[in-house]
Amino acid sequence: MRITAPTLLLSILLASSQTFAADTIFYNGTIYTLADDQPSAVSALAIEDGVVVATGNDEQVLARAHEQTVRINLDGAWITPGLTDAHAHLYNLGVSLSQIDLRGTTSAADCVQRAREMESTLAPGEWLMGRSWDQNDWAVQEFPTRELLDEAFAERPVYLRRVDGHAIWVNSV
């Protein structure tokens, strides 16, 4: 069988003009695309087989609907597609913003030095809290003990959480 140039050209044109239908369309909202080259907000988004196939205004995207398409009216709400996190501790993220960040410390003494720097911002008796120390990053890879904290903070309670949250380092106060 011989394929002629016109037949080949017609096949290419038909394939390139294919419009994807949509299983689900979200519309009448604000959808942040987060496109690398130019993040923008659109009002509608189409999904086919779990993949975003179109974004744009309501009219453009709703044109991709078929009889079985689920249409979801966002009624002005916003969505951000494509954010997936299998494991998150959002509460801890908020709390961590008010604690000493001990990532990158090179020793238990380095942790204490960072804690001393924050102590001046606290009221008397207020807990000094920190997070993310990791003895595996230190020259002496041993868990720290209370003695170093007791010496540095005789009047203030100190609570320092290990990087994985499975151990804490506290003083005697």
Give domain status of residue 72, yes or no.
Answer: yes
Q: Give the pLDDT confidence score for residue 14 in this predicted structure.
A: 47
99 and 164 share a domain? yes
Q: How many domains does the chain have?
A: 2
Domain coverage including residue 117: 90-170
Instruction: Spell out, as residue ranges, where the chain has pLDDT lower than 50.
Output: 13-17
Q: Give the pLDDT confidence score for residue 6 in this predicted structure.
A: 58
Q: Give the pLDDT confidence score for residue 88 in this predicted structure.
A: 73
Of 83, 85, 77, 22, the residue nearest 55 (C-alpha): 22
Of 18, 15, 40, the residue nearest 30 (C-alpha): 40
Q: Give the pLDDT confidence score for residue 40 in this predicted structure.
A: 81
Tell me the C-alpha distance between 110 and 92, whole Å. Answer: 23
Give domain status of residue 71, yes or no.
Answer: yes
Give domain status of residue 129, yes or no.
Answer: yes
Q: Where are the beta strands (DSSP E) in 86-172?
A: 100-101, 128-133, 158-162, 168-170
Q: Give the pLDDT confidence score for residue 17 in this predicted structure.
A: 44
Last residue of a domain, one of 33, 49, 79: 79
37 and 72 share a domain? yes
- Both tokens of 14, joined, read 């038909």
> Nearest-5° angle of CA 112, CA 118, CA 121?
150
Q: Give the pLDDT confidence score for residue 48 in this predicted structure.
A: 92
Q: Give the pLDDT confidence score for residue 19 in this predicted structure.
A: 59
Instruction: Please enumerate in sequence order all residues whose Cβ is within 8 A of that of 160, keeping only pairs 6 or more positions apart, or say none.
Output: 100, 102, 111, 115, 129, 130, 131, 133, 149, 168, 169, 170
109 and 45 share a domain? no
Q: Give the pLDDT confidence score for residue 4 in this predicted structure.
A: 64
Give domain status of residue 103, yes or no.
Answer: yes
Q: Give the pLDDT confidence score for residue 111 in this predicted structure.
A: 97
